[in-house]
Amino acid sequence: MQITVLGAGAWGTTLANLLSRGENRVRLWGHDPAHIKALGGNRINPACAAFRAVDPEVRVEWDLDMACQSSEGLVIAVPSKGMRSLAHHLASALTGSIPIVSVTKGIEFETGLTMCGVLLDAGLPNPVAALSGPTLAEEVFRGMPSAVVLASDCQLTALWGQALFHRPSFRVYASEDRLGVELGGALKNVIAIAAGVSDGLGFGDNSKAALVTRAIVEIRRLGVACGAHDETFSGLSGLGDLTVTCFSKLSRNRAMGERLGKGEPVDKVLGAMTSVAEGYPTARSAWQLARAKGINTPIIDEVYSMLYEGKDVKEALKSLVARDSKWEGEMGRV
């Protein structure tokens, strides 16, 4: 099958390799011609050369229309800020209704839409799906056992995507709760920044475990208010992705939070990052979405205050721990 991966970052490169090893013909597109030229030359991704060799079977391409030509399926791995413009281009360039799988995790600030929502809002008639789960790119690249969930509102599309990605070391579950899978994958990045702040302040595993436990309640509450299924947030794109992103040293969002916890200003941390920490733009979008839905999200609120209102990290912590004690579970909703 001819598959095109749009986005030549760490995750896009890793998935291009994975798909090419499944006897697919894979094209990998990136927006930067110099980057793509380097990939085509020495087959090493210059943004992450330590472990991102591009398989020789993967064809690299800088021309977007050429990359999509004759494709039987698209995988989109661009940063969330570029999804809208890419979607508009695809809406005018694609001639068939080939399936599109988004692996981008984010929420558009202006609309509150997830990434598949942006694709549909741009007028694409294609069936769309989202792939998410506890998948650090380096570990998937090295063939370490991983599990994900691929979700679509269309059951046939979900099953198509499941068959496309499934490998012995890359187990793919199917779901029809596309919205829940996307929200879980996006919101966990905001919480991972808070987890990193906890690390930067020198707190231990007790603190982080409490944070993760209360965060999944927050994520579920907001997700259900948006129309997602409750049980999705106990799965791979909810609790699974949240756990790995909050605890792993490989997590960009956790690393960003750690630097903030050690006292570095937001602008300096952002300027030093070579890859996107999606939790930064998502914190603003999630905060606004929670306000629109009337949902109480104390952890998201404090991360937003730290990133966008200049609130001191220690003051944000005080705001969280100073909250009134409550019942856990159903009694706490009264």
Residue 22 has pLDDT above 90, yes or no: no
Region for residue 7 given its phi and psi (left: phi exceeds 0; alpha: psi -120 to 50; beta: otherwise): left
Mean pLDDT, the chain, whole residue set: 92
Would you name the residues annotated as active-site residues? 188
Average pLDDT of span 187-210:
95
State pLDDT tens for residues 251-262: 999 999 999 999
Average pLDDT of span 189-213:
95
Q: What is the DSSP track for 286-321?
A: HHHHHHHHT---HHHHHHHHHHHS---HHHHHHHHH
47-51, 52-56, 148-152: lowest mean pLDDT where? 47-51
- b/e 297-330 (16+ beta carbons within 10 angstroms → b): bebbbbbbbbbeeebebeebbeeeeeeeeeeeee
29-43, 165-179, 319-333: lowest mean pLDDT where? 319-333
Domain borders along the chain are 2-176, 186-333
44-58, 173-187, 198-212: lowest mean pLDDT where? 44-58
Higher pLDDT, 30 or 48: 30
CATH code for residues 186-333: 1.10.1040.10
Residue 334 has pLDDT above 70, yes or no: no
Residue 34 has pLDDT above 90, yes or no: no
125-139, 247-261, 262-276, 320-334: lowest mean pLDDT where? 320-334
State pLDDT tens for residues 138-163: 999 999 999 999 999 999 999 999 99
- Residues near 320 by Cβ (< 8 Å), separated by ≥ 6? 298, 299, 302
- What's the rounded Cα separation, in Å, for the pair 76 and 169? 22
Of 48, 46, 62, nearest to 4 (Cα)?
Answer: 62
Provide the β-strand partners of residue 280.
none
Residue 331 has pLDDT above 80, yes or no: no
Q: How confident is the model at residue 164 (pLDDT cuts 50, 70, 90)?
A: very high
* Confidence (pLDDT) at 308: 97
DSSP, res 238: I
Of 227, 113, 222, nearest to 177 (Cα)?
Answer: 227
CB of 270 within 8 A of CB of 91?
no
The three-state secondary structure class of 229 is: coil
* Confidence (pLDDT) at 40: 76
CB of 193 within 8 A of CB of 301?
no
Residue 324 has pLDDT above 80, yes or no: no
- Residue 322, token pair as written in the block: 């100073």
Average pLDDT of span 195-212:
94
Percentage with pLDDT > 90 across the chain: 79
Residue 268 burial class via C-beta count within 10 angstroms: exposed 0-12, middle 13-18, buried 19 and up: exposed
Q: Within a 10 A sphere around the Cβ of 231, how many other Cβ atoms?
A: 12
CB of 233 within 8 A of CB of 239?
yes
The three-state secondary structure class of 151 is: strand
Q: Within a 10 A sphere around the Cβ of 62, how many other Cβ atoms?
A: 18
Query: What are the Cα distances from residue 283, in Å, to 160, 197, 228, 287?
Result: 32, 14, 19, 6
State pLDDT tens for residues 101-120: 999 999 999 999 999 999 99
Identical fold, 2-176 and 186-333: no
- What's the rounded Cα separation, in Å, for the pair 197 and 214? 16
Residue 31 has pLDDT above 90, yes or no: no
Provide the β-strand partners of residue 204.
none
Q: How confident is the model at residue 47 (pLDDT cuts 50, 70, 90)?
A: low
Average pLDDT of span 176-204:
97
* Confidence (pLDDT) at 49: 53
- What's the rounded Cα separation, in Å, for the pair 69 and 268? 41
CATH architecture of the domain with residue range 2-176:
3-Layer(aba) Sandwich (3.40)
Of 35, 288, 53, nearest to 186 (Cα)?
Answer: 288
Task: Give Dmax over CA atoms of the chain in angstroms.
Answer: 62
Residue 41 has pLDDT above 80, yes or no: no
CB of 59 within 8 A of CB of 26?
yes
167-171 long-range contacts, Cβ below 8 Å, gap at least 24?
Answer: 167/18, 167/21, 167/22, 169/143, 169/144, 169/145, 170/18, 170/140, 170/145, 170/146, 171/145, 171/146, 171/147
